Amino acid sequence: MDLITSPGFINFHQIYDLTHKILTGLGVGSSAAWMSYLAACIAISFIIINVLIMSTAVYTWFERRVIGRFQVRRGPNRNGPFGILQPIADVIKLILKEDTIPSEADKPVFTLAPIVLLAPTLLTITVIPLGETSFLGSLNIGILFIVGVTSVNAIAIFMAGWGSRNKYAILGSMRGAAMLVSYEIPMALGITSVLLLSGSLAMTEIVKQQSIWFIAVMPMGFFVFMAAATAEMSRTPFDQIEAESELGSGYNTEYSGIKFAVLFLAEFMAPIITAAIVTTLFLGGTKGFDPIPGEIWFVIKMFIVIFVLLWFRATWPRLRVDQIMSFAWKPLFGLGIANIFLIALERQLLSDSAGNLSTENLIIMSVINWIITIGTLLIMANVLGRKKFERPKPVPSPLANMGGD
C-alpha cells in the first residue's frame, strides 16, 4: 500500500496508526493489525457518509432557494428560518412513506439498484484532496479510480428501470444508460488532457502541478469536461431521462419511501462530487492566497462550480434524446481529441530537456489555448450552426389576400 501519510488532514493511515498504538498499548497483541484496520475503515466510512449526506441535504435546500430566486419567487421558507429545516422535513416524509414494491418487479434487482447508485458516488470523495491529501492518502491512481467508479452509474440506472418491470421506466432507463455510456468518452478525453500536463494520475500531484490553474491553460478541455460531467449527472440540458413533462417519470417511477430517498440522495450528491472533481482538476484544488487556509479555498471554488451548474439548470430548456447523443459523439468527441492533440503538441514544443514545464511556458500555453478555443467555438457556432440561426424571410402566401380582388 503505497500511501503517504501527511499531517493536517484526517486520513486512513493516521487513524490506523492511532488505533494500532492504542491497541498495542492495551496489550492486544497480534490481532491489533486487523482490528485497527477495521476501526480505521469504520471511522473513515462514518466520516465520509456523514459529510456527504449532510452536505447533500444542505445542497437540496440551497438548490430550491436559488432556483426560486431565479424564478422571481422565494424558495421554501416555511420550515424553520429561511426554510433551513426543509431537507429534514423531506427526509422524514420519505421515511414515513410506504415502501412499495410492484408485484411483478424483479425484487433483488429492484432493491439493490438504489444502493448500487449511491455507493460509487460516496466512493469518489475518498480520493479528492480536500487538504494536503485525501481520505485515502494520496492514491497513486486517483483519477482513474474516479472514472472507473462513476461508470457504475450506468449499471445502476439500468437496474432501476429493469427491476421495475414498467414500460415507461424501462424506456427511461435504457435512454439513460445509453446516454451515460456515450458521455464516458468525452469525460475521459477531458481528463486525459489534464494528465498530459500533470504527468501523474494521483490527484494530489495534479493539484501540485497547477501553478497556473488548468482552466486557464486548457479552456477547451474544461468545456468538454464540464459538458460531459453535466450529462453524466443527468442534469439540464441533458435531463431527458427524468423529464417530468414527458411520459411518466423515467427510471424512478416505481420507487417510493426510503428507496426513493436513496435515489434522490444519489442524484443530488452528484453535483457536489462533480464540483469537487472539477475544482481539483481545473481550478487548482486547495491552492489559494495565504491568510485563508487551503480547505476554505476548496470550498469556495466548489461553491462557484455548483452555482454555475444550478444556473444552467434554472435557465436552459432540455435537448431531445437523439440531439444529446449526437452532441456527445460529434462535437464533444471532436473537441476532446483536438484538445489532446493541441496540449501534446504544445508540451512537446515548449518543455525543456527534462520534460518539465515552467510557469512562463504555462502562461504562453494558456494565451494560445484561449485564442484557439474562442476561435473554434465561434467558427463552430457561426459556420456549422448557421442553418439553424437563419430564419428565412417570411413571404405572404398567395392563397390569402386580405385586400380583396
Partner 1 sequence: MAEIRTEPVTINLGPQHPSTHGVFRLRVTFDGEEIIDVEPVFGYLHRGTEKLAESRSYVQIVTLTDRMDYTASMSNNLAYVRTVEKLSNIEVPERAQYIRVISAELQRIASHLMATGFLLNDLGALATPLVYCFREREKILDLFEMLCGARITLSYMRPGGVLQDAPEEFWPALETLVTELPHYLDELEKLITSNEIVLARTREVGILNDERAIDSGVSGPNLRAAGVKWDLRKADPYEIYDRVNFEVPIGALGDTYDRYYVRLLEMRESIKIISQCTKQISDGPIRTETPYFIRPKIGEAYSSVEGPKGELGFYMVSDGSIAPYRCKVRAPSFINLTPLREMLLSWKMGDLIIILGSVDIVLGEVDR
Partner 2 sequence: MTLFISGHELKDLVDDMVPGAVDYAEESALWIESSKILDVCKVMKANSELDFSFLTAITAVDYVEYFELIYHLTSMRRNKSTVLKSKCSGRSNLKIPSVVSVWQSADLQEREIWDLMGIEFEGHPNMKRILLWEGFDGHPLRKDYIG
- Considering CB distances under 5 to 8 angstroms, the limit depending on partner class, which of partner 2, partner 1, none binds residue 316? partner 1
Q: Which of 104, 405 has the CB closer to partner 2?
A: 405
Q: Quote the CA–CA distance of 388 and 404 in Å, as a whole number.
A: 36
One of 246, 256, 334, 337 touching partner 1 (CB under 8 A)? 246
Least CB distance from residue 89 to partner 2, whole Å? 42
- Considering CB distances under 5 to 8 angstroms, the limit depending on partner class, which of partner 1, partner 2, none binds residue 70? partner 1
Q: Hey, which residues between 158 and 187 contact partner 1 (CB under 8 A)?
A: 167
Q: Is 382 in the site for partner 1 (CB under 8 A)?
A: no
Selected range binding partner 1 among 58-66, 101-109, 241-249, 273-281, rule: CB under 8 A: 241-249
Phi, psi angle pair for 137, to nearest 5°: 75, -160
Least CB distance from residue 232 to partner 2, whole Å? 46
> Scanning the structure block, which residue is given the C-alpha cell 444556473?
311
Please tell me whether the peptide bond between 237 and the residue prior to it is cis, using omega within 30 degrees of 0: yes
Q: Is 385 in the site for partner 1 (CB under 8 A)?
A: yes
- Considering CB distances under 5 to 8 angstroms, the limit depending on partner class, which of partner 1, partner 2, none binds residue 405? partner 2
Binding mask 362-401 for partner 2 (x = CB under 8 A): ------------------------------------xxxx
Side chain identity at residue 35, one-letter code = M
Q: Which of 383, 400 has the CB closer to partner 2?
A: 400
Q: Quote the CA–CA distance of 353 and 167 in Å, as a whole number.
A: 61
Short-list 57, 92, 111, 29, CA closest to 269: 57
Please tell me whether the peptide bond between 114 and the residue prior to it is cis, using omega within 30 degrees of 0: no
Q: Quote the CA–CA distance of 132 and 295 in Å, as a whole number.
A: 9
Q: Which of 29, 317 has the CB closer to partner 1?
A: 317
Binding mask 203-222 for partner 1 (x = CB under 8 A): --------------------
Q: Which of 78, 388 has the CB closer to partner 1?
A: 388
Short-list 275, 17, 276, CA closest to 137: 17
Strand, helix or coil for residue 137: strand
Count of other CB atoms within 10 angstroms of residue 19: 18
Show the cell assigned to 309.
451548474
Short-list 102, 190, 182, 100, CA closest to 143: 190
Least CB distance from residue 401 to partner 2, whole Å? 5
Q: Quote the CA–CA distance of 220 and 164 in Å, as a whole number.
A: 40
Q: Hey, which residues between 45 and 104 contact partner 2 (CB under 8 A)?
A: none
Q: Which of 259, 313 has the CB closer to partner 1?
A: 313
Please classify residue 290 by burial: count the beta carbons closer than 10 Å to its beta carbon, then call 0-12 exposed, 13-18 middle and 19+ buried: exposed
Strand, helix or coil for residue 183: helix
Least CB distance from residue 169 to partner 1, whole Å? 13
Q: Is 352 in the site for partner 2 (CB under 8 A)?
A: no
- Considering CB distances under 5 to 8 angstroms, the limit depending on partner class, which of partner 2, partner 1, none binds residue 393? partner 1
Q: Read off the DSSP letter of residue 245.
A: T
Least CB distance from residue 404 to partner 2, whole Å? 4
Q: Quote the CA–CA distance of 190 and 145 in Å, as a whole number.
A: 15
Least CB distance from residue 233 to partner 1, whole Å? 15
Count of other CB atoms within 10 angstroms of residue 44: 19
Least CB distance from residue 41 to partner 1, whole Å? 41
Count of other CB atoms within 10 angstroms of residue 178: 17
Q: Hey, which residues between 41 and 80 contact partner 1 (CB under 8 A)?
A: 67, 70-73
Short-list 113, 155, 161, CA closest to 262: 113
Q: Hey, which residues between 95 and 154 contact partner 1 (CB under 8 A)?
A: none
Given the rule CB under 8 A, which residues bind partner 1?
A: 67, 70-73, 167, 236-237, 239-240, 243-247, 313-323, 381, 385, 388-389, 391-397, 399-400, 402
Given the rule CB under 8 A, which residues bind partner 2?
A: 398-405
